[in-house]
């Protein structure tokens, strides 16, 4: 999601903006339905006829903090919200872990971990991190790319062939998930020395604790219902869903088809058609074959 600030201004300050912005290096133009649009490197200001003002670009924060808020809005609307969010934020350095694809018949199972601390929490806030279930696929893709280039992270993507092999070995989805979570935590703990890991709870506490113990990883672990309420777990949920979406697209490309998400009737119909065209063996490389759907098909 692009950095953007939106507010509505008073008509009395329009003239001030038109006078001040050119002196700050902005070039003004008048696209349709606007009073003006002002651009300079790193910042674009667009004032619409409705008096809605939008600011965006890499230099947005500095422009808001040092000019627009103190001289035009006379209120620290943007910076205050970010500072307030920081003040209410759990400041502990920690790893957040979440998964995606668990309930989807097609495509991979993805488990992602993100580590954040005092220096990187503001980055996650600025990106707009929140529970991935509240975001569109396009928003997830844009946010995830920013997250993985900004903070330490680790992703396990089990494509269907590997997933089916491991499921046969573990014989239980929660045990497989626990191994994935423990592997992600082990990797990030070793590379970041984070003292705490928080995960979205998916099984009894001892399942993941036992998996970590087998790996010899000693770290404080918190398992929470609705763990995505934590900003670091939310960041992990975005990265995991991005990895799943990319993996689902990759799986479909091999068959020149766009594979649907989920496990509902339209998924069953797609699977039935693919089995007719390619044989039941195709399921091993595109689907999680322990799902009940497979029995319906073969």
pLDDT for 1 equals: 37
pLDDT for 225 equals: 87
DSSP state letters, the chain? ---EEEEE--GGGHHHHHHHHHHTTPEEE--TTEEEEEEETTEEEEEETTSEEEEESTTHHHHIIIIIIIIII-S-HHHHHHHHHHHHS----EEEEEEE-TT-SBS-EEEEEEEE-TTTHHHHHHHT---GGGS-HHHHHHHHHHHHTTS-EEEEEE-HHHHHHHHHHH-SHHHHHHHHHHHHHHHHHHHH--SEEEEE--S-HHHHHHHHHHHT---EEEEETTGGGSHHHHHHHHHHHHHHHHHHHHHHHTTTS-PPPSSSHHHHHHHHHHHHHH-GGGHHHHB-TTSHHHHHH-
Q: What percent of the chain has pLDDT over 90?
A: 74
229 or 77, which is more confident? 229
In this predicted model, what pLDDT tens digit does every residue of 142-198 receive, in sequence order?
999 999 999 999 999 999 999 999 999 999 999 999 999 999 999 999 999 999 999
CATH of segment(s) 4-87: 3.30.310.10
Answer yes or no: is pLDDT of 120 > 70: yes
Q: How confident is the model at residue 2 (pLDDT cuts 50, 70, 90)?
A: very low
Domain spans of the chain?
A: 4-87, 94-251
In this predicted model, what pLDDT tens digit does every residue of 272-284 receive, in sequence order?
999 999 999 999 9
In this predicted model, what pLDDT tens digit does every residue of 226-271 receive, in sequence order?
888 899 999 999 999 999 999 999 999 988 999 999 999 999 999 9
Answer yes or no: is pLDDT of 79 > 80: no
pLDDT for 71 equals: 86
Q: How confident is the model at residue 88 (pLDDT cuts 50, 70, 90)?
A: low
Answer yes or no: is pLDDT of 22 > 90: yes
Task: Return mean pLDDT, the chain.
Answer: 91
Return the CATH architecture of domain 94-251: 2-Layer Sandwich (3.30)
Average pLDDT over every residue of 213-232: 92
pTM, full prediction: 0.73
In this predicted model, what pLDDT tens digit does every residue of 31-61 receive, in sequence order?
999 999 999 999 999 999 999 999 999 888 8
């Amino acid at each position: 999601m692009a950095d953007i600030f939106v507010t509505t201004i008073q008509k009395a300050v329009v003239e001030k903006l038109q006078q001040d912005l050119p002196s700050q290096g902005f070039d003004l133009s008048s696209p349709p339905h606007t009073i003006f649009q002002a651009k300079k490197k790193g910042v674009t200001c667009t004032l619409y006829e409705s008096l809605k003002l939008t600011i965006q670009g890499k230099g947005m924060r500095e422009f808001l903090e040092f000019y627009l808020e103190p001289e035009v809005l006379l209120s620290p609307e943007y910076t205050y919200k970010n500072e307030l969010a920081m003040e209410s934020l759990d400041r502990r350095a920690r790893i957040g872990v979440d998964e995606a694809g668990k309930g989807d018949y097609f495509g991979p199972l993805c488990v992602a971990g993100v580590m954040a601390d005092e220096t990187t929490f503001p980055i996650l806030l600025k990106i707009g991190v929140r529970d991935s279930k509240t975001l569109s696929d396009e928003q997830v893709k844009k946010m995830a790319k920013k997250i993985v280039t900004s903070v330490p992270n680790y992703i396990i993507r089990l494509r269907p062939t590997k997933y089916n092999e491991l499921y046969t070995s573990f014989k239980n989805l929660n045990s497989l998930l626990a191994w994935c979570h423990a592997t992600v935590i082990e990797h990030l703990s070793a590379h970041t020395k984070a003292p705490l890991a928080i995960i979205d709870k998916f099984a009894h506490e001892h399942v993941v604790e036992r998996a970590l113990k087998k790996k010899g990883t000693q770290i404080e672990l918190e398992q929470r219902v609705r763990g995505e309420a934590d900003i670091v777990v939310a960041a992990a949920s975005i990265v995991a869903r991005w990895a799943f979406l990319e993996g689902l697209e990759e799986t479909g490309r091999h068959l020149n088809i766009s594979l649907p998400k989920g496990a509902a009737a339209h998924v069953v119909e797609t699977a039935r058609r693919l089995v007719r065209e390619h044989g039941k063996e195709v399921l091993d490389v595109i689907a999680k074959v322990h799902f009940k759907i497979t029995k319906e098909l073969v």
